[in-house]
Amino acid sequence: MTEHSSALVIRVLAASALMATFAVAAPAQSLGELAKREEARRQAAKAPAKVYTNDTVGSTPAPPAPPSSPAPPAAAPSASAAKVPATAPADDKAKQADPKKDEAAWRQRIQGARDSLQRSEIFAEALQSRINALTADFTARDDPAQRAVVANDRQKALAELDRVKNDIAQQTKAIATIQEEARRAGVPPGWLR
């Protein structure tokens, strides 16, 4: 009976050790799958139509400036009166034709950028939790082979976290660019909230 009970104890310990090994490996697979799905989603997402930067805004031709020399008093009122009615309807048509001037388009654009930033921040938090768990697991292990596997997984997670942090910086900069572009275009601040 003692041989049987000691064999049973050994089997139970072996089974629990095996289950513990799979329990540690399971989160690594789900995080890896999550990273693969996120990368596939980013590759499948279409690139923005055009990103405006200070360089591109500066390179576009500026509208013609009004003459710097004062015009004769009689000619100035008639010229400006003729220009105002002609340009006002054209500006309204340009706003209707250009979807970037539409409130819904501005809201959609800023919301898309904010959603992307939020997803990246959540992913960074998940990666940080994973790194913390791997660090704790590394210190708890005595076997050098197991420690090497955990250290390798931790190193991969750290590299992914660095990549995500760079994405967050770029997305934050993109939001600031959209806000600056909207400011220069005269978009009401309420459209970007």
Check residue 136 and give its pLDDT.
93
Mean pLDDT rounded to a whole number for the chain: 75
For the ranges 63-72, 153-162, 184-193, the maximum mean pLDDT occurs at: 153-162
Q: Which two tokens stand for residue 47?
A: 């690139």
Check residue 29 and give its pLDDT.
60
First-last CA distance in the chain: 75
DSSP state of 186: T
Q: Which two tokens stand for residue 76?
A: 């100035």
Q: What is 29-77 written as a DSSP string?
A: HHHHHHHHHHHHHHHHSPPPS----HHHHHHSPPPPPPPSSPPPTTHHH
Check residue 159 and give its pLDDT.
95
* Average pLDDT score over residue span 93-100: 47
Q: pLDDT by residue (tens digit) across 105-127?
A: 888 999 999 999 999 999 999 99
Residues 6+ apart with CB under 8 A from 106: 100, 182, 187, 191, 192
* Average pLDDT score over residue span 149-155: 94
* Average pLDDT score over residue span 88-103: 53
Alpha helices in the chain (DSSP H): 2-44, 54-59, 75-97, 103-140, 144-185
Q: Report residue 97: phi and psi, to 5°.
A: -75, -30
Check residue 102 and give its pLDDT.
84
Q: Which two tokens stand for residue 57?
A: 């805004």
Check residue 172 and give its pLDDT.
95
Whether the per-residue pLDDT at 72 is higher than 50: the answer is no
Check residue 147 and give its pLDDT.
92
